[in-house]
Amino acid sequence: MNPMRRTGIILLTALIISLFFCFAAGADTGALRFPPPDFESGYEMPATETPPSASDIYEYLAVIVLAAVLGLGTYFVFTKRKRKYIWGLMIFSLAFFGFWRRGCICPVGATQNITLTIFDQGYAVPVVVIILFLLPLVLSLFWGRIFCGTACPLGAIQDIVLLKPLSVPYWLEVPLRLLGYVYLGMAVLLAVTGAGFIICRYDPFVSFFRFSGSLGALMLGGAFLVVGIFIGRPYCRFLCPYGILLRHLSRISKWKVKISSDECIQCRLCEDSCPFGAIRQPTGEASGEELARRKKMLAVSIVLLPIIVFAGGLGGARISSLLARAHPDVRLADRIYREESGEVAGTTDQSEAFRSTGDQSIESLYELSAEIQATYHQGSRLLGAFLGLVVAASLIRHTVRRRSREYKADPSDCLACGRCFELCPNERLRRQRIKEEEDLRVG
């Protein structure tokens, strides 16, 4: 194996391990319940005031800017077809949506807000959030993942550090993509149960956008950027939950990004230029033996589909108690129980706060915890079945291949970055013809 590729795989593996420890550490964090100090001098606690939110005009300004960026991005990708314009728009989005708006609210994190709104009638999401969430998705139905290549600050900050891009082996890329589905499913489950918004909590780059954050958050973002020097946009490709929605909608987009408007000459320069593995090679006509093998694999995959889905649901139910501990009330009930039964010595800040407030009895806390765990049992089963369906569908998809005579950009993976435009000989000839026609008109 190429030493540089081996380095990239090692860095990617290290990032996955660091992500595991970050999530493990975050499982013990939650809403802290500290009691107010007991003053005996007649002092009265001041009323808590919620700081005013940003003016609505700035929120709608973000919507207008996003719409303008997506419109310009579509024009640059499909009409101008020049990387420098796309790059400039991406840098503007990083400055505006990342550093000026401090990365919030973004369509990626809004996934959780929309989910909670659907399942919790007492939670109302602002109209601005709905628009920010839906606008890139609707656009992807027509022009693909323009948002990823031009408007997303998370993708932009990774793109600017991509210096020595390496290709990820196919056998590694396919399972890594499943991490995004796990992340999306977990985000939906935790949002529905009120355990928190993990997409925002573990946003790897918001600490850079805000010039503040915990050491763990800075290290996580730094790890992504280090890996991003060699692996193109690792967060976007393997973890981003919003990217999964864009990926599937882009498959059915009306207009798709084309490497060349003319017939492909199969020079393979586009394949070498894409750091995201989005270029698909031509597929010749399969032999009779190859077709028979694919049909057999397809039949086996279809038979295995319900088995994999059932196994996924069963596995999800088995780990429901572990997932339920992400909820602060479940962790608190477990701690109170162990303190009451003498399994542990001493107390924690949370258990002391619970006892000192007296707002809730221990029995009612246990009942609440049991209800939450029952919800997690059902939700974890559905999550496991969903992941099983994703795995089964992936097996089926990779047994069915459409015949293609030229190199094409896969609309589900293409991030509309425009890199392939610059190297395509046919594209260069097209630009030369346009320039010559303009010179003739001027002359």
Would you say 225 and 156 are in contact if contact means Cβ atoms under 8 Å apart? no
Handedness of CA 95, 98, 102, 104 (dihedral sign): positive
Number of domains into which the chain is organized: 1
Alpha-carbon dihedral of residues 319, 320, 323, 328, nearest 10 degrees? -150
Question: Measured in whole angstroms, how far is the alpha carbon of residue 7 from the centre of its chain?
Answer: 24
Using the 8-state DSSP alphabet, how is residue 251 labeled? T
pLDDT at 121: 82
Please tell me the predicted confidence (pLDDT) of residue 113: 92
Query: Is residue 421 a part of any domain in this protein?
Result: no
Quote the tokens at residue 160.
Answer: 């600017």
- For 84-114, what is each residue's pLDDT tens digit? 999 999 999 999 999 999 988 889 999 999 9
Q: Residue 332 contacts by C-beta under 8 Å, 6 or more apart in sequence?
A: 33, 350, 351, 354, 365, 369
**Which residues lie across from 280 on neighbouring strands?**
408
Residue 96 lies in a domain: yes
- Please say if the pLDDT value at position 34 is more than 80: no
Query: Which residues contact residue 274 at a Cβ distance below 8 angstroms, ignoring those fewer than 6 apart?
Result: 409, 419, 420
Contacts of 148 (CB under 8 A, 6+ apart): 155, 236, 243, 246, 415, 416
Quick one: CA dihedral 220, 225, 229, 233, positive or negative?
positive
Q: How far apart are CA 321 and CA 299, in angstroms?
A: 36
In a domain, 336, yes or no: no
CA 229 to chain centre: 19
Residue 11 has pLDDT above 80, yes or no: no
Distance CA 313, CA 104 (A): 34
Residue 431 in any domain: the answer is no
The confidence band for 328, taking pLDDT boundaries of 50, 70 and 90, is very high
- Average pLDDT rounded to a whole number, residues 319-330: 93
* CA-based radius of gyration for the chain: 25
CB neighbourhood size of 420 (10 A): 25
CB 418 within 8 A of CB 270: no
**Residue 159 within a domain:** yes
Domain contains 212: yes
**Which is nearest to 320 in space by CA: 368, 379, 390?**
379
For the record, the structure tokens of 389 come out as 């369906």
Place of tokens 């809403």: 31
The pLDDT tens digits of the residues spanning 388-441 come to: 999 999 989 888 777 778 889 999 999 999 999 888 888 888 888 888 888 788
Helix (H, G, I), strand (E, B) or coil at 200: helix
Nearest to 236 by CA among 141, 168, 311, 159: 159
Domain that holds residue 82: 3-32+58-259
Give CA separation, 153 vs 51, 102, 164, 429, in Å: 26, 10, 21, 33
Average pLDDT of 149-157? 96
279-280 and 408-409 beta bridge pairing: antiparallel
Domain for residue 215, yes or no?
Answer: yes
Would you say how long the chain is, in residues?
Answer: 443
**What's the confidence (pLDDT) of residue 36?**
46
Token pair in block for residue 363: 């029995």
Residue 15 pLDDT > 60: no
* Contact criterion met (CB below 8 Å) for 96 and 156: no
- What's residue 10's pLDDT? 52
pLDDT of residue 26 exceeding 50, the answer is no
Kindly state the tokens that stand for 430: 């097209």
**Phi and psi dihedrals of 108, rounded to 5?**
-65, -55
pLDDT digits (tens, 9 = 90+) for 333-377: 999 999 999 899 888 999 999 988 877 899 999 999 999 999 999
Task: Give the percent of the chain with pLDDT over 70.
Answer: 87
In a domain, 379, yes or no: no
Residue 283 bridge partners (DSSP): 404
Dihedral over Cα of 7, 9, 15, 17: its sign = negative
